[in-house]
Amino acid sequence: MKSNRTQPAQIRYLQSTLSIAGLGTIAFSAWSLVKTVMFFLLHNEETQRALLQLEANYPMPLLLVTIIVITLIDLCIRAYVGLSARAEGNGKRRGTLYLVVAGFVAVTNALSIFLVIANPGSAVSVLDSIVTLAIEATSLGTLILMIRSAMQLRRLRGTSE
Protein backbone atom coordinates (compact mmCIF):
# COMPACT_ATOMS: atom_id res chain seq x y z
CA MET A 1 0.00 0.00 0.00
CA LYS A 2 1.45 3.33 -1.08
CA SER A 3 0.66 6.28 1.11
CA ASN A 4 1.35 9.99 1.06
CA ARG A 5 2.28 9.78 4.74
CA THR A 6 5.85 9.78 5.96
CA GLN A 7 7.05 6.52 7.47
CA PRO A 8 6.76 7.74 11.11
CA ALA A 9 3.26 9.06 10.39
CA GLN A 10 2.28 5.75 8.76
CA ILE A 11 3.62 3.86 11.79
CA ARG A 12 1.57 6.06 14.16
CA TYR A 13 -1.53 5.56 11.98
CA LEU A 14 -1.13 1.77 11.99
CA GLN A 15 -0.46 1.74 15.74
CA SER A 16 -3.65 3.73 16.31
CA THR A 17 -5.63 1.43 14.01
CA LEU A 18 -4.26 -1.63 15.80
CA SER A 19 -5.15 -0.20 19.20
CA ILE A 20 -8.70 0.65 18.10
CA ALA A 21 -9.20 -2.76 16.46
CA GLY A 22 -7.99 -4.38 19.68
CA LEU A 23 -10.54 -2.40 21.66
CA GLY A 24 -13.24 -3.49 19.20
CA THR A 25 -12.26 -7.13 19.65
CA ILE A 26 -12.51 -6.74 23.43
CA ALA A 27 -15.97 -5.21 22.98
CA PHE A 28 -17.06 -8.17 20.85
CA SER A 29 -15.88 -10.53 23.58
CA ALA A 30 -18.17 -8.72 26.00
CA TRP A 31 -21.00 -8.99 23.45
CA SER A 32 -20.71 -12.78 23.35
CA LEU A 33 -21.12 -12.86 27.12
CA VAL A 34 -24.11 -10.50 27.00
CA LYS A 35 -25.72 -12.56 24.23
CA THR A 36 -25.37 -15.76 26.25
CA VAL A 37 -26.88 -14.13 29.34
CA MET A 38 -29.74 -12.74 27.23
CA PHE A 39 -30.25 -16.21 25.73
CA PHE A 40 -30.85 -17.65 29.20
CA LEU A 41 -32.92 -14.76 30.52
CA LEU A 42 -35.08 -14.14 27.48
CA HIS A 43 -35.44 -17.61 26.05
CA ASN A 44 -38.74 -18.33 24.36
CA GLU A 45 -40.77 -21.48 23.80
CA GLU A 46 -38.69 -22.60 20.79
CA THR A 47 -35.49 -22.33 22.79
CA GLN A 48 -37.03 -24.28 25.65
CA ARG A 49 -38.14 -27.02 23.23
CA ALA A 50 -34.65 -27.20 21.70
CA LEU A 51 -33.05 -27.48 25.14
CA LEU A 52 -35.56 -30.11 26.22
CA GLN A 53 -34.77 -32.17 23.11
CA LEU A 54 -31.09 -31.98 23.98
CA GLU A 55 -31.90 -32.85 27.58
CA ALA A 56 -33.20 -36.21 26.38
CA ASN A 57 -29.58 -37.11 25.53
CA TYR A 58 -27.67 -34.92 28.01
CA PRO A 59 -28.60 -33.71 31.50
CA MET A 60 -29.62 -30.02 31.60
CA PRO A 61 -26.92 -29.00 34.12
CA LEU A 62 -24.27 -30.42 31.78
CA LEU A 63 -25.71 -28.44 28.87
CA LEU A 64 -25.76 -25.22 30.85
CA VAL A 65 -22.22 -25.68 32.16
CA THR A 66 -20.97 -26.50 28.66
CA ILE A 67 -22.55 -23.36 27.18
CA ILE A 68 -21.13 -21.21 29.97
CA VAL A 69 -17.63 -22.72 29.66
CA ILE A 70 -17.58 -22.25 25.87
CA THR A 71 -18.72 -18.64 26.29
CA LEU A 72 -16.00 -17.95 28.87
CA ILE A 73 -13.34 -19.54 26.64
CA ASP A 74 -14.52 -17.35 23.74
CA LEU A 75 -14.41 -14.30 26.02
CA CYS A 76 -10.85 -15.08 27.15
CA ILE A 77 -9.57 -15.76 23.63
CA ARG A 78 -11.04 -12.55 22.22
CA ALA A 79 -9.80 -10.56 25.23
CA TYR A 80 -6.29 -12.00 24.74
CA VAL A 81 -6.31 -11.06 21.05
CA GLY A 82 -7.68 -7.57 21.75
CA LEU A 83 -5.28 -6.83 24.61
CA SER A 84 -2.33 -8.09 22.57
CA ALA A 85 -3.30 -5.89 19.62
CA ARG A 86 -3.62 -2.88 21.91
CA ALA A 87 -0.21 -3.62 23.43
CA GLU A 88 1.39 -3.83 19.99
CA GLY A 89 -0.43 -0.66 18.98
CA ASN A 90 1.08 1.03 22.04
CA GLY A 91 4.58 0.10 20.91
CA LYS A 92 5.19 -3.08 22.88
CA ARG A 93 6.62 -6.02 21.00
CA ARG A 94 4.22 -8.93 20.68
CA GLY A 95 4.75 -12.39 19.27
CA THR A 96 2.84 -13.80 16.36
CA LEU A 97 0.68 -16.13 18.47
CA TYR A 98 -2.07 -13.56 18.93
CA LEU A 99 -2.22 -13.02 15.17
CA VAL A 100 -2.57 -16.76 14.59
CA VAL A 101 -5.34 -16.88 17.21
CA ALA A 102 -6.97 -13.82 15.60
CA GLY A 103 -6.90 -15.65 12.27
CA PHE A 104 -8.57 -18.66 13.88
CA VAL A 105 -11.26 -16.44 15.43
CA ALA A 106 -11.79 -14.75 12.03
CA VAL A 107 -12.32 -18.16 10.42
CA THR A 108 -14.86 -19.11 13.11
CA ASN A 109 -16.65 -15.79 12.54
CA ALA A 110 -16.79 -16.50 8.80
CA LEU A 111 -18.16 -20.00 9.50
CA SER A 112 -20.75 -18.51 11.84
CA ILE A 113 -21.87 -16.11 9.11
CA PHE A 114 -22.07 -18.98 6.63
CA LEU A 115 -24.10 -21.13 9.05
CA VAL A 116 -26.59 -18.33 9.77
CA ILE A 117 -27.09 -17.80 6.03
CA ALA A 118 -27.22 -21.53 5.20
CA ASN A 119 -29.64 -22.41 8.04
CA PRO A 120 -32.08 -19.53 8.38
CA GLY A 121 -34.63 -21.76 10.13
CA SER A 122 -32.26 -22.43 13.04
CA ALA A 123 -32.51 -18.89 14.39
CA VAL A 124 -34.93 -17.97 17.15
CA SER A 125 -36.25 -15.08 15.02
CA VAL A 126 -35.47 -13.10 11.88
CA LEU A 127 -34.26 -10.24 14.06
CA ASP A 128 -31.88 -12.62 15.84
CA SER A 129 -30.44 -13.66 12.47
CA ILE A 130 -29.99 -10.07 11.33
CA VAL A 131 -28.32 -9.01 14.58
CA THR A 132 -26.07 -12.10 14.54
CA LEU A 133 -25.03 -11.44 10.93
CA ALA A 134 -24.31 -7.78 11.65
CA ILE A 135 -22.27 -8.52 14.77
CA GLU A 136 -20.33 -11.41 13.21
CA ALA A 137 -19.59 -9.45 10.02
CA THR A 138 -18.40 -6.43 11.99
CA SER A 139 -16.28 -8.64 14.24
CA LEU A 140 -14.78 -10.34 11.18
CA GLY A 141 -13.99 -6.97 9.61
CA THR A 142 -12.34 -5.80 12.84
CA LEU A 143 -10.18 -8.92 13.02
CA ILE A 144 -9.11 -8.60 9.37
CA LEU A 145 -8.25 -4.92 9.94
CA MET A 146 -6.24 -5.90 13.03
CA ILE A 147 -4.26 -8.61 11.26
CA ARG A 148 -3.58 -6.43 8.23
CA SER A 149 -2.50 -3.45 10.37
CA ALA A 150 -0.19 -5.60 12.51
CA MET A 151 1.47 -7.10 9.43
CA GLN A 152 1.95 -3.69 7.79
CA LEU A 153 3.25 -2.22 11.05
CA ARG A 154 5.78 -5.02 11.45
CA ARG A 155 6.90 -4.60 7.86
CA LEU A 156 7.37 -0.84 8.34
CA ARG A 157 9.17 -1.30 11.65
CA GLY A 158 11.46 -3.86 10.05
CA THR A 159 12.47 -1.40 7.34
CA SER A 160 12.96 1.47 9.78
CA GLU A 161 15.30 -0.42 12.11
Structure confidence by residue, pLDDT tens digits, 58-96: 676 777 788 889 999 999 999 999 999 999 999 888 789
Separation between Cα atoms, residue 127 and residue 18, nearest integer Å: 31
Structure confidence by residue, pLDDT tens digits, 8-57: 899 999 999 999 999 999 998 888 888 888 777 766 666 666 666 666 67
Structure confidence by residue, pLDDT tens digits, 98-156: 999 999 999 999 998 998 888 877 666 777 788 888 999 999 999 999 999 999 999 99
Overall pTM surpassing 0.85 (yes/no): no
CB-neighbour burial class of residue 96 (10 A; exposed 0-12, middle 13-18, buried 19+): exposed
Separation between Cα atoms, residue 93 and residue 33, nearest integer Å: 29
How many Cα atoms occupy the beta-carbon half-sphere of 63 within 13 Å? 13
CB-neighbour burial class of residue 8 (10 A; exposed 0-12, middle 13-18, buried 19+): exposed
